[in-house]
């Protein structure tokens, strides 16, 4: 406990905790949308395309910084996303198939290009998160993303839910389904970008899926899916920072591991409860 209090005196630790809380909450909140939209696999594919995006930026600019990595990652995911939508529109292939082809090709390109990406920074650190090196500007960006996520979700929660449940019925009820889909994509991409810095592109999907999946085991209330997911994401990320820094283990993988453990415990709790109620009745 005294070690923890001592660490709280260190600015980098306080920043890491604040970033973990903000990113964890945002991702946890948005994970409700990912779950309802059943788009975990698509987002997983997009998160992997962040890798080649970063590598290409390093090749072009010769440096690796936050703005460059963010731009490269965003462009790569947009290219793969748009390419898959285009293929789906003009062929009979489902989007999941098209996206699988494009994202694996993009990752393959990234792997081939990694040896040529000479930079003074540690590429591995970027691949698994840089939460311990957060600056004040990073925190402001995450705070902005968290505010945008909460405000837009709260304002448009009803049309978003109608769209996610059955888009045709939503459209007949007067919802602009296309705009709601754009908003959903924006929320998911922003959350992915935030988690990308916390846990890295390879593991970011874990933070964007697990909180909602955990809370969905316990509730039939859609409102709780979002707020509960946010709380779980926030607590898990903060806990991982507190555990990982003193133990000197990478924080990004620690966040995903804490969430994986929580999911396992939740699953055991729910299934054992069902088992007991079945045997007693």
Partner 1 sequence: MKHLIILQEGAEMSNCKHVHTEGQTHQLLVNNLEVAYRTDTVLKDINLSAHCGSSLALVGPNGAGKSTLLKSVAGLIKPKKGEITWAGEDNMKCRGGEFAYLPQNEKVNWDFPITVQGVVEMGRYSQLGAWGKFTKKDDLAIQRALDLMEMNGELAQRQISELSGGQKQRAFIARAIAQEAHVLLLDEPFTGLDREHTANLSRLLRKLTKESRLVIASHHDINTLTDTFDQILLLNRIVIAMGECRDTLTEENLNLTFKNTSHV
Contacts with partner 1 by CB under 8 A lie at: 36, 38, 155-159, 161-162, 164-166, 168-169, 171-174, 216, 219-222, 225
Closest approach of Cβ 159 to partner 1, in Å? 6
* Rounded-to-integer distance, Cα 232 and Cα 215, Å: 8
Nearer to partner 1, 137 or 165 (CB): 165
Nearer to partner 1, 83 or 171 (CB): 171
Closest approach of Cβ 94 to partner 1, in Å? 16
Nearer to partner 1, 59 or 87 (CB): 87
Closest approach of Cβ 219 to partner 1, in Å? 6
Nearer to partner 1, 38 or 118 (CB): 38
| Best CA proximity match to 26, nearest among 212, 201, 167 | 212
Closest approach of Cβ 107 to partner 1, in Å? 30
Nearer to partner 1, 140 or 158 (CB): 158
Give the CA-trace dihedral at 197, 38, 256, 78, to 10 degrees. Answer: -20
Closest approach of Cβ 276 to partner 1, in Å? 19
* Rounded-to-integer distance, Cα 73 and Cα 66, Å: 10
Radius of gyration (Cα) for the chain, nearest Å? 20
For the chain, report the end-to-end CA distance as a whole number of angstroms: 46
* Rounded-to-integer distance, Cα 20 and Cα 192, Å: 14
């Amino acid at each position: 406990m005294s070690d923890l209090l001592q660490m709280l005196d260190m600015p980098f630790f306080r920043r890491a905790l604040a970033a973990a809380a903000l990113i964890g909450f945002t991702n946890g909140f948005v994970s409700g949308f990912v779950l309802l939209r059943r788009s975990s696999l698509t987002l997983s594919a997009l998160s992997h395309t962040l890798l080649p995006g970063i590598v290409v930026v390093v090749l072009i600019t010769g440096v690796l910084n936050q703005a460059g990595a963010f731009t490269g990652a965003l462009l790569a995911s947009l290219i793969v996303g748009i390419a898959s939508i285009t293929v789906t529109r003009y062929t009979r292939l489902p989007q999941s198939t098209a996206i699988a082809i494009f994202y694996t090709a993009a990752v393959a390109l990234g792997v081939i290009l990694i040896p040529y990406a000479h930079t003074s920074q540690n590429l591995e650190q970027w691949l698994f998160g840089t939460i311990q090196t957060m600056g004040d500007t990073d925190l402001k960006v995450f705070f902005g993303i968290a505010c945008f996520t909460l405000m837009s979700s709260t304002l448009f929660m009803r049309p978003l839910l109608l769209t996610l449940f059955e888009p045709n019925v939503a459209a007949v009820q007067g919802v602009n389904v296309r705009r709601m889909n754009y908003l959903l994509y924006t929320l998911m991409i922003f959350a992915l970008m935030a988690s990308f810095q916390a846990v890295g592109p390879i593991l970011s999907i874990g933070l964007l899926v697990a909180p909602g999946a955990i809370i969905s085991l316990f509730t039939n209330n859609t409102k709780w899916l979002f707020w509960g997911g946010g709380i779980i994401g926030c607590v898990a990320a903060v806990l991982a920072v507190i555990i990982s820094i003193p133990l000197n283990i990478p924080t990004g993988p620690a966040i995903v591991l804490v969430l994986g453990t929580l999911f396992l415990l939740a699953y055991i709790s729910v299934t054992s409860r069902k088992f007991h109620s079945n045997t007693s009745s």
